[in-house]
A and B are shown apart, each in its own frame.
Chain A
Amino acid sequence: MKKAFDVVVAGAGPAGIAAAVTAAAQHRRVALVDDNQRPGGQIWRSGASLPRPARVWLSRLEASAVEHLSGTRIFDHPAPGVLCAEWNETAMELHYEKLVFATGARELFLPFPGWTLPNVMGAGGLDAMVRGGLPVAGKRVVVAGTGPLLLAVAAHLAARGAKIVAICEQAPFARLAKFAAQMSRYPGKLLQGLAYRLAARHSRLYCGCWPISASGSTALESLTLRQGNRTWSVACDYLACGFHLVPNLELAELLGCRIQDGFVAVDDLQQTSVANVYCAGEPTGIGGVEMALVEGQIAGLAASGSAEAARKLIPQRRRMLGFVDALRRTCALNPELRRPAADTTLVCRCEDVPFGTLREHTSWRDAKLHTRCGMGPCQGRICGAAAEFLFGWGPDAVRPPIFPALVSSLAAESTNPNKSMEDA
């Protein structure tokens, strides 16, 4: 199957929705592609009890002429102007004049003994599971890791009746205080943070604290926490643990976009180093929803040839850059977080490769070749980022398919004349 559009937007989170709706308003033929069934990305997908901006943007999307290709996963970029995607076990070629990718971010997970037990999840991970119908009323939950997401998750789970046993933030108290002071420039964010804290006020917030081990026979039963020299155990049913976010850069790398300090480099109009390719949202810097929306609109306008209108939004984006920076400094990981992993602690969950085995290697590539670390279905999305923190290893070059694709999709792709011309 082949489809052609003026603008293809990859990722239907806030950034992608804003880009698609804005480009469609400029009378462009727009496709919005996302591997989930519902639009909204990490934060607006659940549909239930959404804040006002979410309702506004989702109804704009609904009312627009944007063709929403849901449940569709982009796995390759065989030639400029073409993407390969898979939908319902069928391969699809998407042709574009301009591409905006808004592929978002994922949580960073750090290994510690017991982290592979059932009911140890990401912070956003447990949150997403609860939005997806997992009941937590009466369950004892520890929320841990770093970043403002922890308070948001604790507040949401508390509202669903969970008993939040502890909130463990790895950053020291002084750094959080500084962050809060800086937030006075962003009153909306400050108020939101306070509201989250208030909603989970019955739970204690520990700073400079993190889990060092989890135990249980077939699922999580208890956790050992460390704060400074003190360690103690708590009984709990779930651990929601994420160490802030890392951008999804697989598509960016496949497209050949320049990456700088771990993020996609863009100019004022969200244009990447590759012609006709724009990027918006978390891949350009972890900045939250407001930033994603502004960047999405700029990219949508720029990709529809309305640079003038796009420029009007640049000051709005610039104001948010301070927040991105403050967030990055606040969430910087304590090197001590490398210590909980023991030799027997699995780092690669797909292939069950332990820390002790990886330690004998000198690079990610070397470890991959000899241990199969990162070669399982997640393709290193979980263990790659962990290994980067644990060993300082840089990532390996990305190769298609960026998501495991069906053999039939790959076969359809290899008969694509563009591809064979390129390869020739």
Chain B
Amino acid sequence: MPDPARSITLTVNGTMVRVQPGTTVAAAILIAGGYTRTSVSGEPRAPLCGMGICFECRASIGGKLHQRSCQILCTQGMDVRTP
């Protein structure tokens, strides 16, 4: 059950998003209403495999580029950027 007292706040492209502990960064990006990357021919892409295999969920997390966001859990104050 969502518990507001335990929720985590992070920013996705500067917008505040509030999530429950245990939420992956990939889920937070989709909750924020975005997608994760633009393909080499310019298509928007979002997570496919959810398990670290496809690399479609790459995002910049806390200043580190090309992180697989489905493998990383949200932490308080995290700064996430997508194209």
Q: Scan residues 117-152 of chain A and give those whose CB is less than 8 A from a CB of chain B.
A: 118-122, 124-129, 132-135
Partner of A118, one of B23, B35, B51: B35
Secondary structure type dominating chain A contacts: loop
Cβ of A381 < 8 Å from any Cβ of B?
Answer: yes
**Closest residue of chain B to A242, judged by CB?**
B49
How far does the Cβ of A337 sit from chain B's closest Cβ, in whole Å?
A: 18
**Cα distance A119–B72 in the bound complex, in angstroms:** 19
In the bound complex, residues from chain A placing their C-beta under 8 Å from that of B54 are 349, 378, 381-382
How far does the Cβ of B38 sit from chain A's closest Cβ, in whole Å?
A: 11
**Cα distance A106–B48 in the bound complex, in angstroms:** 12
Flag A264-277 by CB within 8 Å of B: 1 or 0 each.
00000000000000
How many interface residues does chain B have, given as a range? 35 or more
**Cα distance A378–B37 in the bound complex, in angstroms:** 14
A42, B51: Cβ atoms closer than 8 Å = yes
How far does the Cβ of B1 sit from chain A's closest Cβ, in whole Å?
A: 11
B55, A378: Cβ atoms closer than 8 Å = yes
**Cα distance A46–B72 in the bound complex, in angstroms:** 12
A129, B24: Cβ atoms closer than 8 Å = yes
Cβ of A421 < 8 Å from any Cβ of B?
Answer: no
B22, A132: Cβ atoms closer than 8 Å = yes
**Cα distance A351–B41 in the bound complex, in angstroms:** 8
Partner of B50, one of A119, A128, A135: A128
How far does the Cβ of A315 sit from chain B's closest Cβ, in whole Å?
A: 32
25 contacts between A and B (CB under 8 A): A35-B71, A36-B52, A106-B51, A107-B49, A109-B48, A118-B35, A121-B46, A121-B49, A125-B50, A126-B50, A127-B50, A129-B30, A132-B22, A132-B23, A133-B20, A133-B24, A133-B28, A134-B30, A135-B31, A352-B40, A352-B41, A377-B55, A377-B58, A381-B53, A382-B48
Cβ of A330 < 8 Å from any Cβ of B?
Answer: no
Partner of B49, one of A35, A48, A218, A382: A382
Q: Could you tell me how many residues of chain A have their Cβ less than 8 Å away from some Cβ of chain B?
A: 37
**Closest residue of chain B to A354, judged by CB?**
B41
**Cα distance A363–B79 in the bound complex, in angstroms:** 43
Flag A356-381 by CB within 8 Å of B: 1 or 0 each.
00000000000000000000111001
B48, A349: Cβ atoms closer than 8 Å = yes
Closest 9 CB pairs of A and B: A133-B23, A128-B50, A118-B46, A132-B24, A125-B50, A133-B27, A377-B55, A134-B27, A352-B41
Cβ of A219 < 8 Å from any Cβ of B?
Answer: yes
**Closest residue of chain A to B52, judged by CB?**
A35
